[in-house]
Amino acid sequence: MFPWRVEVTCDGDQESTSSRTPSIDSNMQLSFADIEEWLDTHPEKMADYFLTKADISLVNRWLVLHGFLSIKDYVSSRRNSATTNISGDSSPIEKSCEFFSDSPDAFNCSKSVSKKHLRQDYALSKKMNVFRTCDTPGHGSDVSSIQSRRNSLKDMRKCLSLPSRSIYILNMLIQSKVEIPRFPSKGRDSKRELRLSNERQYFLESVQEIAHDLDVKSLTQKITVNLSVLVDSDGASLFLIQGPKSHRILVSKVFDLHTGTDIIVPSPTDDNEVRVPWGTGIMGHVAESGDIMNLTNASEHPKYNDEVDKICGYRIETLLCMPVRNADNDIIAVAQIFNKNSESGKGVFSPEDEKLAKMYLEFCGIALTNAYLFELSQKEYERNRSLLEVVHDLFEEQTSLDKVILKIMQRAQRLLNCERVALLLLQEGTYSEIVKFSRTFDLASPLAGSSTTNTHSWPELRTSSGLLQVAERVVCTGEVLNLTDPPEIQQDGGRHIWSLLSMPIRNRDYRIIGVAIIINGTDGTSFDENDEQLFEAFTLFCGLGINNALMYGELEKAIARQKVAIEVISYHGTSPRKEVQKFMETKIPATDEWQLENLKFDDFSLSSDEMLLASIKMFQNLGLISKFRIDYQSLCQFLCTMRKNYRNVPYHNWRHAFNVAQVMFAILTHCGMKSILTDLEIFGMFTGCLCHDLDHRGTNNAFQEKSGSALALLYGSKATMEQHHFNHAVMILSSKGHNIFSSLSATDYSRVMKILKQAILATDLSTYFQLRGKFFSLVDNAEYNWDVEDQREALRSLLMTACDLGASTKPWHIQKRVAELVTNEFFDQGDKEKTQLRIQPPALMDREKKNELPRLQYDWIDSICLPLYRCLAKINERFIEMVEGAVSNQVKWEDLSGQNLCIDKSEDSYGGARVSTEDFDSQTEQL
């Protein structure tokens, strides 16, 4: 029963019982004192016996006896610690009874302590500073308890040593849930005794032992011990088959005794691992053929090598080598059992031994497969965690391409355990026939924390380098290259390349933008399919990171170009100081002299400079300069710059903007609208009339959308030009010395900018069509109330439309000339649609259908203009003058519709009262 150590004499005769204490014969009875004395002198034997025989109840008794909670109480206290209230401390008697009693009755005493006190003491213990870096023994503590507490906090210190980021906390939480099940293993001597007494029970326990172990290294050790005990041999070894099918090797996880090989290659990462090349020695033959080799004189076999015998000082006589298969009958390992015990089988492995070993190895194949799958799941977890860190790093830093690529290469080197990483970016516009790389990045330094120094440093990438040839091949084919001992680049600058994996890097459009290469795994093996899958996922994220970094670089350049463009526009788009000074010194005529309050004002009566002076006069007459303390120089600067920012197009130019503002001035003063609107509303609306067509290009919103212009991309398809006009006005107002709203309070400034935007956007006829149904109904039923903000906003919008369409109410000679200019601009757009867009323009813009213009003008006034002016006349009867003017022009167009109307194209760049391009599009849709 007791583990007496038995040593074998050199001559191989009978076993001698040396080192026996006390010395006894077979008939002597041992006392408890003798046994206790022997155990005290052999603590390692006592520990081995305790680990072998102890059950959970004995462990709980030991824990309670030495001042710890039992396992059940500890788990229960942890679950309840979050909701337990601390009501007080335990008494010293209870504490001493529970935690520091050395008497045999301590176990019974601990039961008497209530669970409430246990929870309280546990909660109090949580109040301790568990993050301290040192402990000082004090009253009631000793060095062993301090050391125990330090060991229990090892995982927590590991967590605290990591950066305080959520990704690391999540990783620790997941990792804490991954526990490998353990099954207690007996010593070799105990197993031999069990086999001799009950071979069936030993076989069952051996199977159970390996069935509950998922660690490959521990499992290998158990299998070798069990095999040697099962067939009664001196020892055994197990070699696992690893690597891809084309480059397999045999690997032993535990250094016990490895025999029958020709070449033994130690692993650089683990001193206990031994690697054997595929197809060499007795093991290699068994792994390839699957045969069982039972050798009586192993040293005489031609495949046997005695190098291990010489190193270990051990001679192999008999050898049994067998394959280990999985459920698919594939060989996954090779087991060797050597030197059969001569007493049990005459020193030769019998067929019965082969049968036993084969039966046990079938269970070993299942256990190894499970352990292998568990190891793969652990690796997959680590790889997923690493990929999460890769994503975090890549998208954390996107401002610099060099920094992004450096992180990519560092991560790849750690993630894939390789000696060298290279990354090559394709040059823009590279064709498949001619591959050119714009930049190359190379990281060949040793891994962090490694003290390994290389005799030959890696050379830089050269034009004639074999690595560049591999990269070009990847770009041309788009395939993944996994090369082992490539002859063309096997020696690169004195460095041996035994493994190389290269993949293309693609952007979000799946276009190749570069090539990533990893060289030489640090474990000395080739890159397998798992490495390929991991590298493929890695390059996918790298492609996104590099693409984002490149886009960010382009964005920075675009922002820089925008800043330069704004500076240039600000300089060239601003009126010269001398021009502003001239207008400031010019005397402005009286309002009556220019008839600015007349609704039949001649749109062609003033020159460009006179229109600017007339605009200043209208600001004065409306009382805006004095009311809002407008700086006179800023007003002149604003008007001069605004005039300069109207383009030289036939219709939507500075003259049209002035004419719309003049109609607004006449409506405010002549039609009594000034009494309804506030001064701030008048300020915003009148300024909006002057700015409502800034930077107009002579084409409408439909053309912007059809042509996919930059304006359509910037503002979308809804009120494209109107949004641009407003933003251009804001840019002018934001320029130094141009802000005529600068004296307003913050509230009034926000209000007037809102009115300005609404006024400009209201010139889009889609707004008119949205508002007129409800507004006309309110006016017809006299239900309008200008104190309601929605109705007030609708009134301002329709007044802007009335001013914009004011040319339709002017005398016939003005209306006809305006139609000529509008037609010229429309025909120009129609020509562009034919030549540039290759589409048929609407009849209103087609030169070949100009004879239809009178009829279209008649319908335009009848369906769009007259309903608006008649509605306004119901609000104030002074609008009847505009109604009469529109009706008169409608009659003229009706008369002309009975004959072919020929409107000669005028060379004048004037743009009279606006019949907007958007209006004509809407008119065509209505017709």
Is residue 866 within 8 Å of 883, Cβ to Cβ?
yes
Name the residue with tokens 């060379």.
907
As given in the structure block, the two tokens for residue 717 are: 């398809």
Is residue 183 within 8 Å of 209, Cβ to Cβ?
yes
Contacts of 741 (CB under 8 A, 6+ apart): 628, 683, 733, 749, 752, 753
**Count, residues in the chain:** 927
Element spanning 338, H or E: strand 331-340
Residue of 258, 652, 692, 696 marked active site: 652
Is residue 33 within 8 Å of 78, Cβ to Cβ?
no
Distance, CA of 350 to chain centre: 63
- Map 624-662 to HEC letters: HHHHCCCCHHHHHHHHHHHHHCCCCCCCCCHHHHHHHHH
Bond prior to 22 in cis (omega within 30° of 0): yes
Nearest residue to 845 (alpha-carbon basis) of 857, 861, 863, 831:
831
Report the 10 Å Cβ neighbour count for 482. 19
Active site residue 652: yes
Q: In angstroms, what CA-CA distances link 831 with 45, 386, 711?
A: 104, 60, 20
Nearest residue to 802 (alpha-carbon basis) of 762, 856, 859:
762
Is residue 882 within 8 Å of 869, Cβ to Cβ?
yes
Apex CA 596: angle with CA 634 and CA 909, to 5°?
Answer: 75
Which letter does DSSP use for residue 131 in this model?
T
Q: Which residues pair with 275 in a beta bridge?
A: 251, 265
The 10 Å CB-count burial string (b at 16+, else e) for 367-392 is bbbbbbebeeeeeeeebebbbebbee
The 10 Å CB-count burial string (b at 16+, else e) for 689-720 is bbbbbbbbebbbbbbbebeeeebbeebeeebb
Name the residue with tokens 């519709």.
897
* DSSP letters for 804-871: HTGGGGS-HHHHHHHHHHHHHHHHHHHHHHHHTS--PPPGGG-GGGGGGHHHHHHHHIIIIIHHHHHH
**Residue numbers annotated as active site:** 652
